[in-house]
């Protein structure tokens, strides 16, 4: 396990900033509970993933350079998103390849973590002292699951939340059909994937659907509310932070 970092930064992510500030607040609260006062660098906006996945790596690279500059002074960067962390880790070195930025990006990417991954793998903490007396189904994002290999971290911290009962999905590894640009280029296929995911959730006794990524969560929530299904959707940080 890496050393316990001193200076920790929160990367809020653009979706959280715009759609769910409570996720950022939850993250800060969780970190505080484990004894870390995270800073929120003012220059941050977006990691650039949407631009990259839309086919504009040069534009994404502009954001990547900014991001690296903003976060490299810190010992660790924590984000409430497996997807953004995967972008920093997997794609920053590629979009910045061949420039001095590549090495800088690799260095800071090594210290960048998704929230539950940070708790479990860096701090060695599973129990953050949260309480949430509900039955919860977890949708770890595909990036959380496959790029970071950290779906088990999210599960581990949820299991230690007081009162929380984690119910199993039949296909926890199935994509919810979001995929950013994919969901609007091919809405029919995306919706078909979403339908199956929601069916899987509905077949359980879950009262709350929790995800590690706001992108997936907004997609799932949009599908649920369109179907008129009342099921709370919460981000992992909101559950752990108990906001």
Partner 1 sequence: MSPSAAGFREASARAVLDPALREAIRRVTDNLAVRRVQVTAELPHFDVLRDRAKRIKEHTLANLDRYLEQLEAAVRARGGHVHWARDAEEAAACVVRICREAGARRVVKSKSMVTEEVELNRALLEAGIEPVETDLGEFVVQISGDRPSHLIAPIIHKRREDVAELFRRHLGTPADAPVPVLTAAARAHLRQAFLQADVGITGANFLVAETGTVVLVENEGNARMVTSLPRVHVAVAGIEKVLPRLADLAVFLPLLVRSATGQRLSAYVSLLTGPRGPGERDGPDAFHLVLVDNGRSRVLADPELREALQCVRCSACLNVCPVYERAGGHAYGSVYSGPIGAVLTPALTGGRGLVDLPFASSLCGACRDVCPVRIDIPGMLVALRARAGQTAEARWERRAARVAAWLLCRPRLYRWASVAARVLEPVVRRVPVGALRRWARGRDLPRLSPTPFHRAARR
Binding site for partner 1 (CB under 8 A): 12, 14, 16-22, 24-25, 40, 42-46, 48, 50-57, 59-60, 62-63, 66, 90-91, 94, 142-143, 145-147, 173-175, 177-194, 218-219, 221-223, 225-226
- Sequence-distant (6+) residues with CB within 8 A of 76 are 5, 7, 8, 9, 111, 112, 113, 118, 122
Return d(Cα 157, Cα 119) in angstroms, integer.
8
CB of 22 to partner 1, least distance (A): 8
Minimum CB distance to partner 1 smaller for 21 or for 163: 21
Counting beta carbons within 10 angstroms of the beta carbon of residue 3, is it exposed (0 to 12), middle (13 to 18) or buried (19 or more)?
exposed
Q: How far is CA 113 from CA 116, 118, 227, in A?
A: 8, 5, 34
DSSP 3-17: PPPSSEEE---HHHH
Minimum CB distance to partner 1 smaller for 5 or for 177: 177
CB of 165 to partner 1, least distance (A): 27
CB of 180 to partner 1, least distance (A): 8
Minimum CB distance to partner 1 smaller for 162 or for 170: 170
CB of 133 to partner 1, least distance (A): 26
Minimum CB distance to partner 1 smaller for 161 or for 178: 178
């Amino acid at each position: 396990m890496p050393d316990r970092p001193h200076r920790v930064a929160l990367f809020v992510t653009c979706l959280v900033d715009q759609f769910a500030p409570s996720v950022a607040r939850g993250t800060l609260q969780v970190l505080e509970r484990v004894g870390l006062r995270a800073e929120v660098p003012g220059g941050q906006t977006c990691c650039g993933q949407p631009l990259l996945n839309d086919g504009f790596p040069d534009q994404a690279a502009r954001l990547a350079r900014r991001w690296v500059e903003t976060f490299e002074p810190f010992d660790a960067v924590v984000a409430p998103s497996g997807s953004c962390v995967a972008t920093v880790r997997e794609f920053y070195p590629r979009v910045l390849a061949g420039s001095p930025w590549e090495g800088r990006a690799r260095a800071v990417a090594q210290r960048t973590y998704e929230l539950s991954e940070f708790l479990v793998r860096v701090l060695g903490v599973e129990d953050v002292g949260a309480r949430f007396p509900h039955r919860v189904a977890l949708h770890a994002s595909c990036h959380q699951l496959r790029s970071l290999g950290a779906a088990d971290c999210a599960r581990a911290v949820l299991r230690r939340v007081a009162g929380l009962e984690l119910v199993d999905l039949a296909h926890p590894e199935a994509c919810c059909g979001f995929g950013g640009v994919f969901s609007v280029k091919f809405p029919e296929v995306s919706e078909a994937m979403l339908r199956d995911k929601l069916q899987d959730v509905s077949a359980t006794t879950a009262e709350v659907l929790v995800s590690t990524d706001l992108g997936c969560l907004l997609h799932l929530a949009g599908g649920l509310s369109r179907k008129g299904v009342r099921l709370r959707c919460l981000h992992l940080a909101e559950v752990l932070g108990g906001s």
